[in-house]
Amino acid sequence: MSTFRPRPLLAALALLVLAACAGDITPDQTATPVDPGPTETLPGPGGPQALFAKTTAGTYTAAIDASGSDWIYLDLDSQTQVFPTSPEASGDWDLAHRGAEIKLNGGSSGAPPTGQPVLAFGDKVAEGSAYPFETVTAAPTTTAVEYQTDGTVNRYPYPLSLLFPDAVDPLYAMNTYPAADQEPDAATQAGDHGWYRDSGLAGGSVISARGNVGYVLRTVECRYYKLRMTGYSDTSGEVAHPQYEFLEIPGNACGNGGSAVAPLGRASFTASGTGYTVAVDATDEEAWVHLDLVNHAQLVPTNPDNDPQGWDIALRRSDLKLNGGVSGSGSVLLHDGLRDDWDARTRAPAVSADSYHTDETDVLAFTTYPAAERSGDAACGGINGDHGWYYYSGFCNDGEGIHHISPRDVVYVLRGRDGQYWKLRLLGYYDSAGSSAHPALEYAPVAAP
């Protein structure tokens, strides 16, 4: 029987390389869920080295015998151990175990010929605290945070790495981040290594799961799971038997399926002073609600990606997109004014490349600008922060509850598809009953620059 012992240099370099990439598992209300499909047959069949079970709370558990020298490959969606002939080019598996190592079917570890590369997003709360697994109700969007997959690292320190650029070792995402609470000792390995903590040589090299760490995984089939590691020894004390708890959650749609169109009846316009207020039912987790600001109406475009004179903005949950840039063929632009005066804003700022924005790949202007002022407070679990038009409270109660979205004090100026300029601000994200994904906004015409 063999057990995994990470190489000292690899572990040290891994933590240095990816520590800065650790981020938040936010119960994100902007996520677009993927149909989980039938689950009546679960827990799945597992396999000779994999046992799955269902808990009374409705989550699933996995117990893996990873004590051998071979990788144990798993399809998480069907909860099945699989045996790919060429795992580096197979879409049959999502993650694999060998000792304490966990690799993902993506990046340096795999290139599924169909589907998506597997990604992981990790988070941690304060050391010594239990990760609040039950509060993770949806995956954070891939546009809001940076997911990771497996990579490589040169086994030599700089400047020797320049002489031996091909001397690389695998860098497994789940063995590398979130960042360590206790930096590993290069000689004894005592410290944190992604999902686990090693007691080091003096402590008998005992490996235990970090209880303050949680993950979100996106599988090959573009399904999302929250996951937390719970142990490394089986009931008889045998090591190299990792265990974890997991559950499917909603997450971003993959590919180019983000242009589904919501039916009419999702937006209500009301005249207000010199402009209009709009109440939007954006609860559909796949379809966008398209708005025509000129005619104060919701539209149902047949081809929203190529409709330059049809719609101005579209909403889906807390996301807003423009008919311009990567989101549409129109010429809509957005200027952000943090703490601008709504009443005093009667003319649009001059248009320049620096002053106005449009949607870019993985960057929606409304959820990116203005830049964040608040982000990652330890008291809020490190997952609160600003996202363009809104602030997300994370585990803090900033007066309106935890996991609450509230508009920032921003006055946007939008150049519409027809060249008309509007000032626009978000008023809220909840309806009168307190239901989320009901954004309200106000807009009014302003003079051209």
Domain ranges of the chain: 8-249, 267-370+408-446
Is residue 431 a contact partner of residue 438, using CB atoms and an 8 Å limit? yes
Report the candidate in 334, 323, 333 with the shortest Cα–Cα distance to residue 259.
Answer: 323
Distances in Å between the Cα of 300 and the Cα atoms of 41, 93, 178 are 38, 39, 43
By DSSP bridging, strand 60-64 and strand 224-231 are unpaired
Is pTM, for the whole model, over 0.75?
Answer: no
The series of mean pLDDT values per 10 residues for the chain, 449 residues long, is 33 35 37 42 92 96 97 97 96 97 96 90 94 91 76 78 75 94 91 95 94 95 94 95 95 59 93 94 92 94 84 96 91 96 97 92 93 86 90 84 92 96 97 93 97
- Distance between CA atoms of residues 179 and 232, nearest Å: 20
Over residues 23-57, the pLDDT tens digits come to: 333 333 334 444 444 444 689 999 999 999 999 99
Over residues 64-74, the pLDDT tens digits come to: 999 999 999 99
Query: In one letter, which amino acid is 244?
Result: Y
Is residue 364 a contact partner of residue 143, using CB atoms and an 8 Å limit? yes
Which residues, at least 6 apart from 234, have a Cβ–Cβ distance to it below 8 Å? 63, 65, 241, 243
By DSSP bridging, strand 390-392 and strand 385-387 are antiparallel
Q: Which two tokens stand for residue 353?
A: 């490349």
